[in-house]
Amino acid sequence: MNKQAGVLIPLLAISVVFLLGYKGFGWENSLKGTEIANILTTFSTTNSDKREAWTTFQNYLEFARTHNLSGIRSLSHQISATCGDQSREEECFALMDSIYAFTSTFTLSDFKHIQSDKKHVIMYTDGPMVAILFFTKDENDFLKILGMRFCFEDETALNTCVETDPTKRDLDGNGWWDDVESLFY
């Protein structure tokens, strides 16, 4: 029983720190600059980014469903040429309907993976059909929808759908991840 208590008590303590947050215990300053603080900060930032990204995506879908172009503009990094042209309103509404039809069945739990930094957030599903949501952050750190891609990935695929190696995400070194930058127009 002593051996079990010797293992369970530290595990319980670590769990409490993760659940309540190390900042709530006043440990933020004493852990500052340590590897543990970096891990805890990354964990909480990623979860915060995921919640914010999902809320942004859900609001975007509601704007698409109701054909609220000003709402779409407020949450978009960029607007398509079709929706930027008032004379093509019906085509724009058809695009909104398509976006809603293709993506409204996704749930937050489908997006098991997230990567983020000060400029980007990418959420994606497991394969073999990988759905990838791309977001950018504006100057006030608000998320903007950039786009969505679908990619087929299985054990025979030569490349993965999402680059997870931080040294390979931004090959031109301009601060924008290459997958994100490929969606700019």
The pLDDT assigned to 38 comes to 44
Higher-confidence residue of 177 and 164: namely 177
Q: What is the pTM of this model?
A: 0.72
In the block, residue with structure tokens 């852990």 = 31
Amino acid at 80: S
Tokens for 61?
Answer: 């879908």
Report which of 78, 160, 169, 82 is spatially closest to residue 121, judged by C-alpha positions.
169
pLDDT band at 9 (very low <50, low <70, confident <90, very high): low
Per the DSSP assignment, residues forming a β-bridge with 72 are: none
The pLDDT assigned to 88 comes to 96
Average pLDDT rounded to a whole number, residues 134-146: 93
81 within some domain: yes
Q: Is 81 helix (H, G, I), strand (E, B) or coil?
A: helix
Does the structure show a pLDDT above 50 at 18? Answer: no
Amino acid at 69: L
Tokens for 82?
Answer: 């079709």
The pLDDT assigned to 3 comes to 55
19 within some domain: no
21 within some domain: no
Quote the CA–CA distance of 58 and 17 in Å, as a whole number: 31
173 within some domain: yes
Per the DSSP assignment, residues forming a β-bridge with 120 are: 136
166 within some domain: yes
Give me the chain's average pLDDT, please: 81
pLDDT 10s digits, 60-98:
999 999 999 999 999 999 999 999 999 999 999 999 999
The pLDDT assigned to 159 comes to 76
Tokens for 163?
Answer: 């680059």
Higher-confidence residue of 35 and 174: namely 174
Tokens for 53?
Answer: 């990204």
Q: What is the CATH number of the domain that holds 170?
A: 3.10.450
Q: Is 152 helix (H, G, I), strand (E, B) or coil?
A: strand
pLDDT 10s digits, 143-155:
999 999 999 987 7
Quote the CA–CA distance of 50 and 107 in Å, as a whole number: 12
Q: What sign does the dihedral 111-50-53-160 (CA atoms) show? A: negative
Rg value, the chain, Cα: 20
Average pLDDT rounded to a whole number, residues 24-47: 49
Structural domain harbouring 74: 33-181
The DSSP line for 100-134 is HHHHTT--GGG--EEEE-SSEEEEE--SSEEEEEE
Contact present, 136 and 119 (Cβ < 8 Å): yes
Distances (CA, A) of 154 to 18, 44, 80, 127, 150: 34, 30, 31, 7, 13
2 within some domain: no
Higher-confidence residue of 161 and 35: namely 161
The domain total for the chain is 1
